[in-house]
Amino acid sequence: MDWRKHVRTALDGRHPGLGHRVELGLHALILYSALSMGVETLPHLPGWAQTALSVSEAAVVAVFTLEYLLRLATAPAPGAYARSFFGIVDLLAIAPFYLGLVFIGFGLDLRAGRALRVLRLVRLLKLARYTSAVDRLIAAWRAVKEEVVVFGMAAIIVLYVCALVIWQFEHDAQPEAFGSVFDAMWWAAVTLTTVGYGDVTPVTAVGRIFTVLMLFVALGIIAIPTGLVASALSAIRQKEASAAAEDREAGRRPATAARD
Amino acid sequence: MDWRKHVRTALDGRHPGLGHRVELGLHALILYSALSMGVETLPHLPGWAQTALSVSEAAVVAVFTLEYLLRLATAPAPGAYARSFFGIVDLLAIAPFYLGLVFIGFGLDLRAGRALRVLRLVRLLKLARYTSAVDRLIAAWRAVKEEVVVFGMAAIIVLYVCALVIWQFEHDAQPEAFGSVFDAMWWAAVTLTTVGYGDVTPVTAVGRIFTVLMLFVALGIIAIPTGLVASALSAIRQKEASAAAEDREAGRRPATAARD
Amino acid sequence: MDWRKHVRTALDGRHPGLGHRVELGLHALILYSALSMGVETLPHLPGWAQTALSVSEAAVVAVFTLEYLLRLATAPAPGAYARSFFGIVDLLAIAPFYLGLVFIGFGLDLRAGRALRVLRLVRLLKLARYTSAVDRLIAAWRAVKEEVVVFGMAAIIVLYVCALVIWQFEHDAQPEAFGSVFDAMWWAAVTLTTVGYGDVTPVTAVGRIFTVLMLFVALGIIAIPTGLVASALSAIRQKEASAAAEDREAGRRPATAARD
Amino acid sequence: MDWRKHVRTALDGRHPGLGHRVELGLHALILYSALSMGVETLPHLPGWAQTALSVSEAAVVAVFTLEYLLRLATAPAPGAYARSFFGIVDLLAIAPFYLGLVFIGFGLDLRAGRALRVLRLVRLLKLARYTSAVDRLIAAWRAVKEEVVVFGMAAIIVLYVCALVIWQFEHDAQPEAFGSVFDAMWWAAVTLTTVGYGDVTPVTAVGRIFTVLMLFVALGIIAIPTGLVASALSAIRQKEASAAAEDREAGRRPATAARD
């Protein structure tokens, strides 16, 4: 076994000697990195804590950069890895840090820095690499993609139409809360998802009648996509379960082991 | 190929030379028309913008009127088209504009104008013409129509009964919020759909006990129709998928192509 | 055909000459009676309207009393009718009026009168007599009764436990809103059904952490019964549909006609 | 039949002479004990009532202690019982009382006492001992455990990510409501479960746009686990129903009786 295979199997948790140790270490680093973003938000952080967070962030990025370079160097086809879903995720996990350095070099930190900090959360997608449930979710998504897209577009149109209608009814009574169709869309989204904060509510009789009609007709359009994904997901699970049962009867290894 | 067939296939996006260009242009016009209705709601619009919106609205209606007349002239059976679902939609998409002109001619603009503006949103239904998901939704609707109508009527009765009962309990404690059964129906609809704005809530002990009982018993009656439509929809999707698979095996064109 | 059969078929909408006329008249009377209860709640009703409502209520009760007596007299087995579900409903639809008269005779109108007025809503159940969807709902209920009862009891226990726990955490911080476990149960019911009025919310850190955990664990227990009823209902619908298809193939009358 | 078997069958409600009496008595005691915890929360309880509650609590614990010792003494394998799910539940049902006595002996009542009082609610789990629906729920849980765990972890990550993003957008506008990521997680949990109290809502334009996107994408991730459990549950119910039907045809006792 040459060094490339050693490195690749170590990173993927299938090394004969190291086993899952390197993989688990990387996962721990991802979780630490996400938690440290939460700690950063705490008010009244002392100066030494802010320094510690900055230093540890640099260390985390250094490790992830090393991981990215090693994956690139040891992949059978480096170009294919770089263009794959997880290749892009691995790059996005470190890119914000280096972009931030560039921005500081040019003296433009403020707004862009905030967006870059949020982008660091992409790292959490690295956790999805070895979960078979993610494969199943992707298969379910493929089965119902067309419907969900149609219903998603229908949901946006319903939202926009409801917002335009309620604006006609409520704008005169509440010029603040229903200032333009964009304010009305906030109300429509909060209502149609049944969140119902209550910060914006219709007060006119005709606005309330329209809201009740809207809820009864439009709730279905919002709720159906979820039902479609769930039923597709359980259909895939049943198919996998019966395939695994057939494999067991035939004396072969189960289908899920075929990924190694 | 005579000019009628040229026009008809161009409008439907199946013209050998023009392809989807005319169809996509009409779709773009529909979306522009809907978005301009949203822009109209923005406060402090300058005068030139209002003029531009009025002029572009007239241009959009001119194009849709031309489309309607061409469809009428080129349909194999003009009467059948005029009475079909999309024939009526095409008419309703332009009618509000001409009605508005009539109203202005008679000097009665105010209230009716607002209702007419909302009616212009019917144009968005024109987008549904070529979506196979709409066919599927209609098939699912036909399969569960009877149940959904019964449950819909049951939902209205449940709403009305809950409103009458809560009014008896809360009217004395909150004569403003629970003024009549219509105010109570607003509360009942917002509560049973689990939106729960919180603008109207029961405060008496007996009113709260009734609310809890109502939620546990009546939520099902509201939630079941959505479940029925979703399960009918996935049943139809499976049936279509297996029919398409059979077609592929038999070497024929898929069933969805039979619509051309 | 003797007069008993004439009357019975007329009431059930299967009379050869009258058809659905008597049945539809009774349905109209039920709906009028329910709507007049709503009109009664309107504030500032003039005296003549209140008199008209009282008189029409007496007339409605007279018709329903006649219907009850006729059904009793023409039923093949009067005792079985009187003890059947719809026999009891028919009696409850008229009983509140006569009980009210008795109460007025004894001079005790106030509280009891309010409860009696609510009881009049039982009349709406008379509408369910000829709906096949009601039969299906009853069949679905029988299939999942045991589970729904277990989950219903589990839901009550979950509600009570959550209320007791949140009371321990929030009572000191909000002695008004979380006065006793009964106030806490109001909060728990409004939260677990995701209505979330916002009139009572936890403010302590530990109370909020418990709320989040509760929502993620306990929402399932509340949501599952609805899913069970919906899936049982669609299973019954499919069974009926295939039975009807078999009947059509065999050249017999459909199964739903067997109820006559 | 020796005394061990007499005691064991009496406790389990299968004694030939006593039948369900001992079991039902224990259930009544569990419910009394839970209800007395609710009564304790009532404000302005007189001294004698508090004394009565303390005395009855001691009596309940005495009975449950006796039950635990008898079960331990009469179990075929006492060690296996002590380590079983219900063995641990039986111990936890009495342990808080004795721990409380120890704490009072050491003079440290306050905080620990509150936690111990909540722990007494474990007693309600003793009710689950003989419910076949609990077996079915456990079987359904086993079938979907893997998915629910993955989705549960995904839900926590989604919650955390949404909280971090909204904090970046809303912290400057509402430094009180969105003080740190933990405040933002409270908002995210209340919003994603569609409870929507309205005590914390985004006010900035970008925060509201993010909320709408979040609701449409993330609601599915929260809603899918419930759907999975429900579908697994109904699959198990159908399997049991067909197994019972086969047993009846084969003239054997139904499968559920095999537990005795």
pLDDT given at position A191: 92
In angstroms, the CA A255 to CA A243 distance is: 7
Chain A residues in contact with B37 by the CB 8 A cut-off are 164, 181
Chain A positions contacting chain B at CB under 8 Å are 144, 146-147, 150-151, 157, 160-161, 163-165, 167-168, 171, 175, 179-182, 184, 191, 194-198, 201, 205, 208, 211-212, 215-216, 219-220, 223-224, 227-228, 231-232
Indicate whether A7 pLDDT > 90. no
Q: How far is C195 from chain A (nearest CA, A)?
A: 8
Phi, psi for D104 (deg, rounded to 5): -60, -40
Read off the pLDDT of residues C68-92 as tens digits, 9 standing for 90 and up.
Answer: 999 999 988 889 999 988 888 889 8
Read off the pLDDT of residues C212-244 as tens digits, 9 standing for 90 and up.
Answer: 988 877 766 666 666 666 666 666 666 766 777
Position of tokens 């389990």? Answer: D12
Domain-terminating residue out of B108, B130, B152: B130
Residues B19 and B97 in one domain: yes
- For residues B121-130, average pLDDT: 78
With pLDDT > 70 as the criterion, what percentage of chain D qualifies? Answer: 80
- Residue A107 structural domain: 3-130
CA–CA distances in Å: residue C50 to residues A19, A159, D156: 85, 43, 58
B191 band by pLDDT with thresholds 50, 70 and 90: very high
Nearest to D180 among A43, A190, A193 (CB): A43
Read off the pLDDT of residues A162-173 as tens digits, 9 standing for 90 and up.
Answer: 999 999 889 989
Going by C-alpha positions, the residue among C185, C56, D230, A205 that lies closest to residue B211 is C185
Chain B residues in contact with D190 by the CB 8 A cut-off are none
Q: How far is A197 from chain C (nearest CA, A)?
A: 8
pLDDT given at position D103: 75
Write the Ramachandran bin of A180: left for phi over 0, alpha for psi from -120 to 50, otherwise beta: beta
Taking CA atoms, what residue in D is nearest to B198? D197
Mean pLDDT of chain B: 81
Say yes or no for a CB contact (<8 Å) between D168 and A118: yes
Residues C107 and C159 in one domain: no
pLDDT given at position A255: 43
- For residues A235-242, average pLDDT: 68
pLDDT given at position B52: 93
- For residues A63-70, average pLDDT: 92
CATH at residue B154: 1.10.287.70
Chain A residues in contact with C197 by the CB 8 A cut-off are 198
pLDDT given at position D191: 92
pLDDT given at position D253: 46
Residues C146 and C216 in one domain: yes
From B100-104, C45-49, D147-151, D211-215, the region with the lowest mean pLDDT: D147-151
The 3-class secondary structure across chain B, one letter per residue, is CCHHHHHHHHHCCCECCCECHHHHHHHHHHHHHHHHHHHHCCCCCCHHHHHHHHHHHHHHHHHHHHHHHHHHHHCCCHHHHHHCHHHHHHHHCCHHHHHHHHHHHHCCCHHHHHHHHHHHHHHHHHHHHHCHHHHHHHHHHHHHHHHHHHHHHHHHHHHHHHHHHHHHHHCCCCCCCCCCHHHHHHHHHHHHCCCCCCCCCCCCHHHHHHHHHHHHHHHHHHHHHHHHHHHHHHHHHHHHHHHHHHHHHCCCCCHHHHHC
pLDDT given at position C204: 92
Chain A residues in contact with D211 by the CB 8 A cut-off are 189-190
Q: How far is B3 from chain A (nearest CA, A)?
A: 34
A60 band by pLDDT with thresholds 50, 70 and 90: very high
Strand partners, C19: C15
> What secondary structure letter does DSSP report for A202?
-
Strand partners, B156: none
In angstroms, the CA A200 to CA A178 distance is: 8
Tokens read off for D221 = 């991730």
Domain-terminating residue out of D101, D130, D159: D130
Chain C residues in contact with A42 by the CB 8 A cut-off are none
Identify how many contiguous H helices and E strands chain D contains and give both numbers: 9, 0
Residues B70 and B177 in one domain: no
Q: How far is C36 from chain B (nearest CA, A)?
A: 11
Residues D55 and D150 in one domain: no
Residues C110 and C177 in one domain: no
Read off the pLDDT of residues B47-88 as tens digits, 9 standing for 90 and up.
Answer: 899 899 989 999 999 999 999 999 999 988 889 999 988 888
pLDDT given at position B202: 94
Nearest to A194 among C194, C197, C198 (CB): C194
Say yes or no for a CB contact (<8 Å) between D41 and C167: yes
Chain B residues in contact with C42 by the CB 8 A cut-off are 180-181
Indicate whether A156 pLDDT > 80. yes
Residues 6+ apart with CB under 8 A from C232: C140, C143, C144, D234
Chain C positions contacting chain A at CB under 8 Å are 194-198
**Residue C181: Cβ-neighbour burial (10 angstroms; 0-12, 13-18, 19+):** buried
Residues C113 and C144 in one domain: no
**pLDDT tens, N- to C-terminus, chain D (260 residues):** 688 888 888 888 888 888 788 888 988 998 899 899 899 888 888 989 989 998 999 999 999 999 999 999 998 888 999 998 888 888 988 888 888 888 777 766 555 566 677 777 888 888 777 666 667 767 777 777 776 777 777 778 888 989 999 998 899 899 989 989 999 999 999 998 888 999 999 999 999 999 998 887 776 666 666 666 666 666 666 676 677 777 777 765 444 444 43
Q: How far is C119 from chain B (nearest CA, A)?
A: 9
Residues A229 and A159 in one domain: yes
Read off the pLDDT of residues B158-182 as tens digits, 9 standing for 90 and up.
Answer: 889 899 999 988 998 999 899 889 9
Taking CA atoms, what residue in A is nearest to D152? A133
- For chains A and B, what is the number of CB pairs under 8 angstroms? 98
Say yes or no for a CB contact (<8 Å) between A230 and D228: yes
pLDDT given at position C197: 93
Chain A residues in contact with C196 by the CB 8 A cut-off are 195-196
Chain A residues in contact with C42 by the CB 8 A cut-off are none
Q: How far is A193 from chain D (nearest CA, A)?
A: 7
Read off the pLDDT of residues C131-181 as tens digits, 9 standing for 90 and up.
Answer: 666 677 777 777 777 767 777 777 788 889 899 999 988 998 999 899 899
Say yes or no for a CB contact (<8 Å) between B219 and C182: no
Read off the pLDDT of residues C188-212 as tens digits, 9 standing for 90 and up.
Answer: 999 988 889 999 999 999 999 999 9
Say yes or no for a CB contact (<8 Å) between D41 and C184: yes
Interface test with D, best of C148, C159, C161 (most D CBs within 10 A): C161
With pLDDT > 70 as the criterion, what percentage of chain A qualifies? Answer: 80
Going by C-alpha positions, the residue among B80, B83, B119 that lies closest to residue B98 is B119
Chain D residues in contact with A190 by the CB 8 A cut-off are 196, 211
Mean pLDDT of chain A: 81
Phi, psi for B44 (deg, rounded to 5): 60, 40
Taking CA atoms, what residue in C is nearest to A199? C198
Taking CA atoms, what residue in A is nearest to B140? A224
Which subunits have 3 or more CB–CB pairs within 8 Å of chain A?
A: B, C, D
Say yes or no for a CB contact (<8 Å) between D196 and A199: no
Which subunits have 3 or more CB–CB pairs within 8 Å of chain C?
A: A, B, D
Say yes or no for a CB contact (<8 Å) between D219 and A193: yes
Chain A positions contacting chain D at CB under 8 Å are 34, 37-38, 41-43, 114, 117-118, 121, 124, 127, 131, 133-134, 136, 152, 155, 182, 185-186, 189-190, 193-199, 225-227, 229-231, 233-234, 237
Chain B residues in contact with D195 by the CB 8 A cut-off are 196
Tokens read off for D167 = 């904090």
In angstroms, the CA C97 to CA C118 distance is: 11
pLDDT given at position D256: 43
With pLDDT > 90 as the criterion, what percentage of chain A qualifies? Answer: 23
Interface test with A, best of B136, B193, B201, B233 (most A CBs within 10 A): B193
Phi, psi for A243 (deg, rounded to 5): -65, -40
Tell me the CA end-to-end span of chain A in Å, nearest whole number: 17
Residues A152 and A215 in one domain: yes
CATH at residue C76: 1.20.120.350
Q: How many domains does chain D have?
A: 2
With pLDDT > 90 as the criterion, what percentage of chain B qualifies? Answer: 24
Chain B residues in contact with C233 by the CB 8 A cut-off are 147, 224, 227-228
In angstroms, the CA D45 to CA D42 distance is: 6
Residues A101 and A124 in one domain: yes
Residues 6+ apart with CB under 8 A from C85: none
Say yes or no for a CB contact (<8 Å) between A198 and C197: yes
pLDDT given at position B48: 93
Residues 6+ apart with CB under 8 A from B161: C121, C124
Q: How far is D92 from chain A (nearest CA, A)?
A: 34
pLDDT given at position D68: 93
Say yes or no for a CB contact (<8 Å) between D198 and A198: yes
Q: Which of A209-223, B127-141, D34-48, D147-161 has the highest mean pLDDT?
A: D34-48
pLDDT given at position B163: 92
| Kind and range of the H or E run holding C247 | helix C205-249
The CB density around residue A161, as the number of other CB atoms within 10 Å, is 19
Read off the pLDDT of residues A112-153 as tens digits, 9 standing for 90 and up.
Answer: 566 677 777 888 887 777 666 667 767 777 777 776 777 777
Residues 6+ apart with CB under 8 A from B183: B167, B177, B200
Provide the CA C155 distance to its chain's centre, in angstroms.
21
Read off the pLDDT of residues C104-136 as tens digits, 9 standing for 90 and up.
Answer: 777 665 555 666 777 778 888 877 776 666 677
- For residues B144-171, average pLDDT: 83
Nearest to C157 among D124, D133, D185 (CB): D124
Say yes or no for a CB contact (<8 Å) between D198 and B194: no
Residues C112 and C190 in one domain: no
Q: How far is C73 from chain B (nearest CA, A)?
A: 31
Name residue A91's amino acid.
L
Position of tokens 């005792």? Answer: C79
Domain-terminating residue out of D130, D155, D176: D130
Residues C11 and C77 in one domain: yes
Q: Which of A36-50, B122-136, B138-152 has the highest mean pLDDT?
A: A36-50
